[in-house]
Structure 1
Amino acid sequence: MKNNFSRKQTAGYGFILPSAIMLLVLIAYPIIYGFYVSLFDTNLMNRWDFVGLKYYWEAITTPDFLHSLLVTFSFTAMVLVGVFTIGISLALLLNMKLKGRTLFRVILILPYLFPEVVVALLWKWLYDPIYGLVNNILMSLHIIDQPVAWLSSTSLALLAVAFVVIWKGYPLVLIFVLAGLQSIPEDLYEAAEIDGATKWKQFIYITLPSLKPVLQTTLILEAVWWFKHFTIIQLLTNGGPVNSTSVVSVDIYKLAFSDFRFGQASALAFIVFLICFLISYVSRRLISRD
């Protein structure tokens, strides 16, 4: 009996060993190595001057980093509000028994399928102040009188970038919420309708509570993903104008690959990791407590 149990236990460890090795190689090792690099003033080749936690102290006391952090939180908040508003609204619409809804589902999910580089280059052309379609359409509708330099304005650049990211990101929320809506039993709505509940009350007391687990999980995934987002912002504005779209990920890229300050860049990257971990941990604790 003991040998049989031992054999089963060994087999279990054998099954999880490949996954454990992959996690260690692809996740644990980069995190540990990144923290190690952050303790040095280094070019990753022949200069390794130990500085300890100097770069972490500089980060939390430097106005530039705090500004980047504020921009990052503002950007993330705008994107989350946008993707959830559009995603939930379209999911509710596509959940109705409408003709051609399958075709619309395919069309509305398309932005998520495009690579981020393609999305950024496409919208950079659309935003162009001279020949971009955005200005052309708004001027033809008499919403604006003259072309607007969307990506060159300190007051509009972050909003313009957030709009592109929302356009790219809402399909994921749409997919999750639509799947959640289709898992809600029709009997609940029929019973509520018999009891005289309006559509609004059905949404408040049936739809939202049923979608709560889906919305909470999606919120964590989206918040962490867009907080550390880089590609679209870098290609559209490169953090400009005047650092108005300079999120932390763009600062890290510039420090590492423009200034070759790998230690300082690693410190900022590790701080971003801690913030994302904290967002995930707090959210999961709140969900489990609920």
Structure 2
Amino acid sequence: MLALIAYPLVYGMVISLYDTNLLNKYDFKWLTNYKDVLTDPGFLKKLYITLKFTVLVVAGNFIVGFVLAILLSMNIKGRAVFRAILVLPWLFPEVVVALIWKWLYNPLYGLINYYLMEFHWVKEPLDLLGNPNLALFSVAIPAIWKGFPLVLVMIMAGLQSISQDLYEAAEIDGANAWQSIRNVMIPGLMPVLLVTLILETIWWFKHFTIIYLLTSGGPVDATSVLSIDIFKQAFEQFQFGRASATAVLVFIICLLISYLYRRLLRDDDK
């Protein structure tokens, strides 16, 4: 624990207080790096893009995962096969996911533009990753494709823990399908939903791989999330102190998000 978690975490926080090249330059700056980051308008812009990306992906994961979990909890033919197939995106490495979708998005030979043209939905191919108005949404779709199986598995596990007696009691009381979902299913899933929501939000808030491989933060910083900004500060501009300060701020934001979720979605009956 000390070697793998505590030391890197503390070391990153210490580095954020210095102007350093990690070799022979360690100029103590105290909180100057934090001040520079927080007063930089670009930080707030990238924070907004990061929040927007996180909301899109987490909402998409929960919508797709929740709907599929309900369908797969029904007694349908071939349910086990569908469960195995729908978990496959989760098993792919993120690099593979990014390369697959980069090929699908290609304006010259990508399948997405091919079918858009085939069904006459567009008159000319769309540069989905090169258009600043479409890039963030286009990057969010592969992230949703990669991430929804986790939500699917978690919700399916939660559904199995809800007693069928509760559904039968609700049906006897005259509840329809929507009322059963709202008053029986959702409360029963709340502990699972809370854990899943926290994990999903934190994971996609600090996500790097898919976005970087698809757009590298472009075009015109349309997909420049905080993780990419940290990478460029550290390994392109060699501002390791400022990059560490930004990373510490991301860590604090993730802690605040987790705390707010637990406060807003806590079970008041316990």
Shift of 1:175: 0.3
After TM superposition, list the pairs within 5 Å mapping 1:84-99 onto structure 2: 84-99=62-77
Higher Rg: 1
Stretch of structure 1 that moved more, 280-289 or 213-222: 280-289
Among 21, 30, 38, the residue aligned to 2:16: 38
State the aligned residue count.
268
Whether 1:137 aligns to 2:121 is no
1:271 aligned residue: 249
Is the 1:151–1:241 Cα contact (8 Å) retained in structure 2? yes
Shift of 1:146: 1.1
Q: TM-score under structure 2 normalisation?
A: 0.96
Shift of 1:194: 2.5
Shift of 1:289: 6.3
Shift of 1:288: 4.6
| Separation in 1, partners of 2:80, 2:102 | 30
| Separation in 2, partners of 1:181, 1:289 | 18
Among 135, 141, 145, the residue aligned to 1:167: 145
| Separation in 2, partners of 1:163, 1:71 | 15
Structure 1 unaligned spans of 5+: 1-21
Amino acid across the alignment from 1:231: T
| Separation in 1, partners of 2:168, 2:18 | 65
Whether 1:182 aligns to 2:125 is no
Shift of 1:48: 0.9
| Separation in 1, partners of 2:267, 2:183 | 21
| Separation in 1, partners of 2:148, 2:72 | 14
RMSD: 1.1
Amino acid across the alignment from 1:125: W
> Match of 1:139, SS?
helix
Query: Judging changes above 3 Å, is the alpha-carbon distance between structure 1 residues 173 and 289 closer, same or farther for their aligned structure 2 residues?
Result: closer
2:36 aligned residue: 58
Is the 1:31–1:270 Cα contact (8 Å) retained in structure 2? no
Whether 1:78 aligns to 2:56 is yes
Shift of 1:196: 2.3
Q: TM-score under structure 1 normalisation?
A: 0.90
| Separation in 2, partners of 1:263, 1:162 | 30
1:13 aligned residue: none
Is the 1:87–1:177 Cα contact (8 Å) retained in structure 2? yes
1:230 aligned residue: 208
C-alpha distance after superposition, 1:167-194 (max 9, x if no partner): 1000000000011111111112122222
Whether 1:215 aligns to 2:193 is yes
Whether 1:68 aligns to 2:68 is no
| Separation in 1, partners of 2:120, 2:186 | 39
| Separation in 2, partners of 1:282, 1:272 | 15
Shift of 1:281: 2.4
Among 76, 82, 94, the residue aligned to 1:104: 82
Shift of 1:286: 4.0
Among 256, 260, 268, the residue aligned to 2:234: 256
